[in-house]
Amino acid sequence: MREQMLKSILSDLHGTSADIEGTAIISGDGLTMAALLPQDVDEDRVGAMAAAMLSLGERTASELSRGTLEQIMVKGESGYILLSHAGQDAVLALIARKEAKLGLIFLDAKRAAKNIADIL
């Protein structure tokens, strides 16, 4: 039931922008709770990488006195990866095309993360 509700949030998020290519909700220890990812993307690998990046990001933000980590963005030549906290023990991972309108995607991701936190 809960997994279905989480998948529904991801589905809604995909519906907000054609530039979103994949999404996943990952637990703090790197396990995928729900995902809508492209066929060629390994869910387990995404979960492990997201957990590692988040841990490093949190430590970096703290060490450099930037406060509590809110999100991590990675830009590659083919697009973006966005990681955002979704409550205490979950992360929303989002993959977007390079043409994506980031302002709108950030806004939609923030809304989705809040909905995820409410469920968890």
pLDDT in tens, 34-67: 999 999 999 999 999 998 898 899 999 999 999 9
Q: Is residue 1 predicted with pLDDT exceeding 90?
A: no
Count the residues in the chain.
120
Ordered DSSP codes for 83-108: EEE-SSSEEEEEEEETT--HHHHHHH
For CA atoms 51, 31, 9, 68, the dihedral sign is negative
Q: Are 26 and 51 in contact (CB under 8 A)?
A: yes
68-117 pLDDT, tens digit each = 888 999 999 999 999 998 988 899 999 999 999 999 999 999 999 999 99
Domain ranges of the chain: 2-119
CATH number for 2-119 (one of 3.40.50.1100, 3.30.450.30, 1.10.3720.10, 3.30.9.10): it is 3.30.450.30
pTM of the full predicted structure?
Answer: 0.89
Alpha helices in 19-101 (DSSP H): 43-63
Residue 10: per-residue pLDDT: 95
Q: Are 109 and 84 in contact (CB under 8 A)?
A: yes
